[in-house]
């Protein structure tokens, strides 16, 4: 990761420290790192696992949060230049899921038809002739069984795709909610309210709302920076 002017249109994943609050585990998290034109500075937000984190990147730190490591491949894909949002659009994924389920149902129907056809060949009107050709019937039966096994394997594969698509859609929705809150427009509005603030508490109320901090976390930040009753 670099911080040159041509990279300011991109966003990155960087290690960040946990917020110093009681009860938070001692873990190094991952957060989205982006350039904020309103502040003319690089900034980080909440950890991608949902925990609040300290502001600022730790480039040389090792990430130890299991949930952040679990979400990391999906976030890296979403932040890569050329990424198509529809690849993680819940509506698109639901359509793909419907297509997979439709194909699975088609194969199940085909399996039923093949089984019925095999039975009909055995017990049909030409039963005596078929019995005389027992060897041929055995080959047909074996072929039908192999085809049934092949269809069942395909059904299991499609079922796994359905399960993966559902999980993909769920994670995509969580990631989209985390990313869409930190926009240049939101930063401009926050900057305007900060300029009108007269106390550190007022400043951190606005910053807390922008970065997703709780009221308690914003209060801790305000107290740590307070030099007097007003700015």
pLDDT in tens, 149-171: 888 888 888 888 878 777 766 65
Torsions phi, psi of 181, nearest 5? -75, -25
Task: Give pLDDT, residue 154.
Answer: 84
88-146 residue pLDDT tens: 778 887 888 888 899 999 999 988 888 888 777 766 656 555 556 666 667 777 888 88
State both tokens at 222. Answer: 């305000």
Task: Give pLDDT, residue 229.
Answer: 46
Task: Give pLDDT, residue 230.
Answer: 43
- Is the distance from CB of 194 to CB of 203 less than 8 angstroms? yes
Give the whole-angstrom CA distance, residue 210 versus residue 12: 18
- Highest mean predicted confidence (pLDDT) among 95-104, 169-178, 188-197: 95-104
**Average pLDDT for residues 1-7, to the nearest whole number?**
52
Give the Å distances, CA to CA, from 154 to 103, 150, 161: 10, 6, 11
Give the whole-angstrom CA distance, residue 153 versus residue 227: 68
- Highest mean predicted confidence (pLDDT) among 64-73, 137-146, 175-184: 64-73
Q: Give the CA diameter of the chain.
A: 104
State both tokens at 117. Answer: 């056809």
Residue 32, beta-bridge partner list = 13
**Its pTM surpasses 0.95:** no
Instruction: Scan for tokens 């300011």, then name that residue.
Output: 8
Give the whole-angstrom CA distance, residue 32 versus residue 181: 12
- Nearest to 223, CA basis, from 196, 198, 193, 201: 201
């Amino acid at each position: 990761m670099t911080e040159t002017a041509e990279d300011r249109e991109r966003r990155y994943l960087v290690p960040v420290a946990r917020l110093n609050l009681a009860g938070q585990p001692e873990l190094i998290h991952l957060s989205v790192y982006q350039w904020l034109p309103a502040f003319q500075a690089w900034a980080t937000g909440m950890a991608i696992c949902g925990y609040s984190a300290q502001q600022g990147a730790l480039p040389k730190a090792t990430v130890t949060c299991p949930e952040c490591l679990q979400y990391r491949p999906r976030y890296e894909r979403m932040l890569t230049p050329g990424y198509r949002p529809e690849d993680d659009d819940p509506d698109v994924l639901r359509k793909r899921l419907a297509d997979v389920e439709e194909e699975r149902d088609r194969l199940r129907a085909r399996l039923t038809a093949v089984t019925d056809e095999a039975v009909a060949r055995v017990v049909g009107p030409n039963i005596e002739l078929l019995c005389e050709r027992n060897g041929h019937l055995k080959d047909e039966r074996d072929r039908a069984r192999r085809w049934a096994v092949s269809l069942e394997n395909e059904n299991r594969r499609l079922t796994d795709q359905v399960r993966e698509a559902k999980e993909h859609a769920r994670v995509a929705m969580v990631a989209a909610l985390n990313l869409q809150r930190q926009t240049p427009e939101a930063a401009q509005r926050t900057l305007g309210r900060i300029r009108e603030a007269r106390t550190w508490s007022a400043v951190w109320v606005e910053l807390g709302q922008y970065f997703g901090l709780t009221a308690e976390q914003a209060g801790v930040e305000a107290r740590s920076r307070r030099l007097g009753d007003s700015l």
